[in-house]
Structure 1
Amino acid sequence: MWYNYYHAVSGLECKLNRVQKSQTSSNYSGEIVLIKDKTRVDDGEVQELSFTMVATVQEVEESAKEFFRQISQKDIPGFRKGKAPRNILEQSVGGHANAMGGVAETLINEFAFKAIDDEGVLFIGDPQFNVAEMLEEGKPFSFDVSGPVAPSMHLASYEPVSIVMPPEEATEQDIKAQIRELQSYYHSFETIDDAEHKAEWGDYVEMTLTVTNHGRMVSGLGAADRMIGLGEGTMPESFDAQVIGSKVGDRLEFDFEAKDAEGESEYGDGELSAIVEVKGLRRCIVPEVDDAFAVKVGCENVDDLRKQLKLAINMQKGKDLPGLMVDRAIDQLVNRLEGAVPAYYIDFIRQDVGREMIQSLKQQGTSLQQWMLQNSIDGDKMKEKISIEAERRAAIDCALESLFAQKGWELSEEDIDGMFSSERGLEGTREDWEKSGRMASVRKMCRQSKSTEWLVETAVVTVVEEPVE
C-alpha cells in the first residue's frame, strides 16, 4: 500500500491517508529499529495506542536517496532525467522543507507500516503520524504514531468454563426423532369429504389467503393459494386459532399477531389482517413404522432401519459436536466479560459483518436487496441483525484476547507457521502475508486459536440428553 504524505510547515505535523500504491517499492534492507514509549489511553469511549518510532541514520539516508531518485525522473527544464543537481530537485518540490517532508513520507511508507505490523499492532482505521521536528539528514528521525485499537477488557473469572453437551452416541430419543422425520417425509394427505366437518387442530386447510399490515400487502401473500397445517407452525398460533371451527366454503376476515417470543416481528409492528377463503380440508396420513416401511426407505427391516439411523446419527454427531463444544465454551467465556464492549469497536466489526454478508450473497448469485425481499426483511430489521452479529463477534474477540493476555501465553514461530496449514483456511503463504503487512492479523488469529483450544481442552463438561428439534 502507498500512503500520501501531507506536510504542514506550521507545527511540522503530518497525517497519512491510505491510497493504492502506484510506484514500485524499493528493496531496503533496514528496518525501524526502535519503538518506544508505548501507551494505551482510554477516554471512556475509545481506547487509543500511541508510541514513538525512531529511524536510524542509515534509514534516513536510504529514504533520501529513494525520494530524490524518484523526483529526478520527472521532467525538469534544462536537465535530462536523473541529471538535475540536488538543489534543483529541492526547488522543484517547493524548497528544502518540503523535500525533507517528502523524505519523511518515503521513510514512513517504506519502514513504519512494516514495523507496526511486526510489533503486532492492529489499528482500527488509519493511524495518525505526527512529526515534532523536521527530518535532518545525518541524524536519526523520530515521529509519533497513534490511533484507536481494539479495547482491552477483563473477565470476571479466568478459570475453565462449565458447559452442557449432548451424548456423543445416538440415543433412543435421537433415533425416534429421525424415524419421525422419515415418517413425515413419506406422509400423504386424504381429503375430508364430510361437508359438516369443522377444521380442528392437526387438520390441513386449503385456502386462498391475503394478509396485510395496516392495509399494506405482505409480500407473497396476496390472494395466495396455500395449504396450512393448523398447529404445525406454518402460521402463528393466533392465525390458526381463527381458522379453527371453519368449514369448506367459509370466508373469514380477522386480525392476528405475527411476533416472536421477544415481541419482534418481520412484518412491521406484527399487527396483521387476513382474508381467508376455505377451499378444502385434508388429513395428514403418517405411515406405520413396520418392515414394509423400512424396505421402502432402503433397509431390510425395522431393526436394520434403526441400525442404519444410529450409524448416520453417530457420523453426524462426530462432525457437529466439536463445533458445538467450541461455541458453547466461547459463549460461557463471553458471559464473563465485565462491562459492555465499547460502541466504537462494535461499529468497526459491523462494517466487516456487512461486507461478509454481501460477499456471501454474491457468491450465491443474489444481491442483498433480493435476499431481503425473498425473506420479507426490511432495512431496519437487516440493520438490527447485522448489529446483533457485530456485538457477538466483538464480545468474542475481546473475551479471547483477555484470556490470552491474563494467562501470560506467548506465540512461538511454530504456532504462527501452523496458521498457514491447510485446515486453518488462510490463503497464501506466510511470505505473502508478511509482504502485504498483515502478520499482526495472523498473530491475533493465532492468539484466539490458542485461547479457544485451551477453553475446549479444560472445559468441565456435563453430558445431558437434550430435546431433539
Structure 2
Amino acid sequence: MQVKETLNDGLKRGYQFTLPAADLAAKVDEKLLEAQPEVEMKGFRKGKVPMALLKKQFGPRVLGDAMQEAIDGALRDHMEKSGDRPAVQPKVEMEGGETWKEGDDVVVNVSYENLPAIPEADLSGLKLERLVVKTDDKAVDEALENLAKNAVSYDDKKKGAKAAKDDQVVIDFKGSVDGEPFEGGAAEDYPLVLGSGSFIPGFEDQLIGAKAGDEVEVKVTFPDEYGAAHLAGKDAVFSTTVKAVKSPKPAEIDDELAKRFGAEDLAGLKSQIAERLSAEYQGAARAVLKRGLLDQLDGLYSFDLPESLVEAEAAQIAHQLWHEENADHHGHDHAHIEPTDEHRKLAERRVRLGLVLADLGQKAEVNVSDQEMTQAVLQQARNYPGQERAFFEYVQQNPQIQQQLRAPIFEDKVIDHIVSGAKVTDKTVSHEDLQKAVEALDEA
C-alpha cells in the first residue's frame, strides 16, 4: 500500500492510500486458495473446484473483503507509525466510486483532525478555596418545619363553610368541549388543593367560595401549548360537584411525624436530616471548588483545538439550551438550531478542559474500577424499576453508554487527584452564602 501525505495544516491531516491492482488481485487469489480446500460445488469433489470457477463464483465478494481488509490494515499501520490520534472517526473516500472496476488501482483519500499534544503546565501554584458550612440546629429545625408542611393533613371545615385558598376540596367533575365529553376529563372524589396550580389555569379560582354540596359550572380555556393537541386552545366546561371542603392542618413535629418519614423517633429524624444537610453542603461546596479549579486550569493551558470536536460540542450545547427554553417540546422534530458565538466559546472551554483532564488522568494512571462502574450502573438502573436486568444487559451491549457512565467518574477522580496536590484553604460560611456561590455558577 502506497501512502502519500496530501494535507498537514495545524491539526488537519490528509493522506492518499493507493493499493495497486496487482496487489489486490494477489490478495484475492490468496483468499481463494485458502478457501479452496473447504469449498463444495455440484459436479466437483470437496476441495477440487477449479480456481477459475471459484473466482467467477466468489470473486466479487472476496474482492470487496480483500479491499476492505487492505484499507483497514493500512490505516491501522499508519496510525501506529505516525502516532496520530484522530479526534473523531477518519473520513474515508474511495476515488472513482461507482466507476471503479476490477483491474484498476484502489485509491482512497483519508482525512481527519489529530488530537493535539497537551503542553506541560505548572500546577504547583494552584490555590483553591473550599467553602464549609456547619450543620446547626437552626438548619435542622427549618428542614423539620418544611417536612411538616409537606406532611400536612386536611380536616373537614364546619358545615356551610366556604372554600378558601390553600383549602382542599373533594370534587366530582365531568368536562366537555363543544358539548362533547373528552377522554381524561372526568373524575370522582378528586382531592384538589386550591391555589396549587395543578389544574388548568382558572379552574381552581372558580371554586373559591364554594361550599360542600354546591354544583359549580367551571368554564376554562385550555392553554395553546397544552400537551393534548386536540384540546389546545379549546374552551371547556366542567360540571363540578363539591363534596367536601377541608382546611389544612400542619403536622406536629413529634415522634409520629418521624415515623412517617422512616425514623424511630424525632431524635432519629433530626439525625437523618443533619446527615442529609451535611452531604448536600459538601456536594454544593465541591461544585464551587471544582468550578474554581477548572477556571484556573482553563487559564493555564492554550493549544489548538480540533474544529470537529468544538462544532459537535457547540451543537450539543445549542440543542440542550433550546430544549431548556422550550420545555414543552419533547421531541427532536424541530428546525436546525444554529450555535451562536457564545455557544462556540463555551464549547471551546469544555473541549479544552476535557482534553486537559484526560491527559492529566492518563499521566496519573487514573482508572475507573469495575466496582465503580457497577455502582454507576446500579444507580442508573434505579430509574427503571422492574427493568433493572434489561438495563444491565443494555449497558453491557452498548460501549457508548458505558463510556457515558465512565466519563463523569473518571473526571471526578482526576479532579480529586489535582485537588490533592493543590493548596486548599477551608472557609467557613453560612448556608445562605454557599447558596449564593452555587447560584453564581449558573450565571457565569
Q: Structure 2 length normalisation: TM-score?
A: 0.55
**Aligned residue number for residue 309 of structure 1:** 273
| 2-structure distance, mates of 1:328, 1:403 | 11
**Aligned residue number for residue 266 of structure 1:** 227
Moved more, 238-247 or 75-84: 75-84
Q: Structure 1 residue 228: deviation in Å? A: 0.8
Q: Structure 1 residue 281: deviation in Å? A: 0.3
Find the partner of 1:203 among 162, 167, 178.
Answer: 167
Amino acid at match of 1:400: R
Find the partner of 2:70 among 107, 116, 122.
Answer: 107
**Aligned residue number for residue 69 of structure 1:** 34
Does the aligned pair in 1 maintain the 2:357–2:414 contact within 8 Å? no
Does the aligned pair in 2 maintain the 1:287–1:293 contact within 8 Å? yes
Query: Structure 1 stretches of 5 or more lacking a match?
Result: 1-31, 42-47, 153-162, 351-379, 428-435
Counterparts of residues 367-446 of structure 1 (less than 5 Å): 381-383=329-331, 400-405=350-355, 409=359, 412=362, 415=365, 418-419=367-368, 421-424=370-373
**Aligned residue number for residue 391 of structure 2:** none
Find the partner of 2:242 among 264, 267, 278.
Answer: 278
Percent sequence identity is 14
Does the aligned pair in 2 maintain the 1:239–1:257 contact within 8 Å? no
**Aligned residue number for residue 301 of structure 2:** none
Does the aligned pair in 1 maintain the 2:28–2:62 contact within 8 Å? no
Cα displacement string for residues 348-401 of structure 1 (whole angstroms, at most 9, x for unaligned residues): x99xxxxxxxxxxxxxxxxxxxxxxxxxxxxx843159999xx9xx99987533
**Aligned residue number for residue 120 of structure 2:** none
SS in 2 for 1:242: helix
Cα displacement string for residues 407-431 of structure 1 (whole angstroms, at most 9, x for unaligned residues): 9947748748x2454324599xxxx
Q: Structure 1 residue 183: deviation in Å? A: 1.9
Q: Structure 1 residue 89: deviation in Å? A: 3.8
Q: 1:167 to 1:215 in 2, by over 3 A?
A: farther
SS in 2 for 1:221: strand
SS in 2 for 1:278: strand
| 1-structure distance, mates of 2:158, 2:47 | 97
Amino acid at match of 2:157: I
Q: Structure 1 residue 201: deviation in Å? A: 1.1
Amino acid at match of 2:227: E
**Aligned residue number for residue 370 of structure 1:** none
**Aligned residue number for residue 254 of structure 1:** 219
| 2-structure distance, mates of 1:326, 1:58 | 60
Does the aligned pair in 2 maintain the 1:205–1:278 contact within 8 Å? yes
Moved more, 49-58 or 275-284: 49-58
**Aligned residue number for residue 145 of structure 2:** 180
Q: Structure 1 length normalisation: TM-score?
A: 0.52
Cα displacement string for residues 53-93 of structure 1 (whole angstroms, at most 9, x for unaligned residues): 57899999777533542366434566544445655543444
| 1-structure distance, mates of 2:187, 2:264 | 46
Q: Structure 1 residue 100: deviation in Å? A: 5.2
**Count of aligned residue pairs for this structure pair:** 369
If each structure's helix is expressed as a fraction of its own residues, which one has the higher value?
Answer: 2
Find the partner of 1:194 among 159, 168, 171.
Answer: 159
Cα displacement string for residues 92-140 of structure 1 (whole angstroms, at most 9, x for unaligned residues): 4469xx865553134346665797799654757x954415798999x9x
Does the aligned pair in 2 maintain the 1:415–1:446 contact within 8 Å? no
Amino acid at match of 1:273: A
Does the aligned pair in 2 maintain the 1:205–1:229 contact within 8 Å? yes
| 2-structure distance, mates of 1:144, 1:386 | 35
| 2-structure distance, mates of 1:54, 1:461 | 62
Moved more, 394-403 or 205-214: 394-403
Q: 1:421 to 1:114 in 2, by over 3 A?
A: farther
Q: CA RMSD in A?
A: 6.5
Find the partner of 1:239 among 203, 225, 230.
Answer: 203
Q: Structure 1 residue 279: deviation in Å? A: 1.6
| 1-structure distance, mates of 2:130, 2:202 | 35
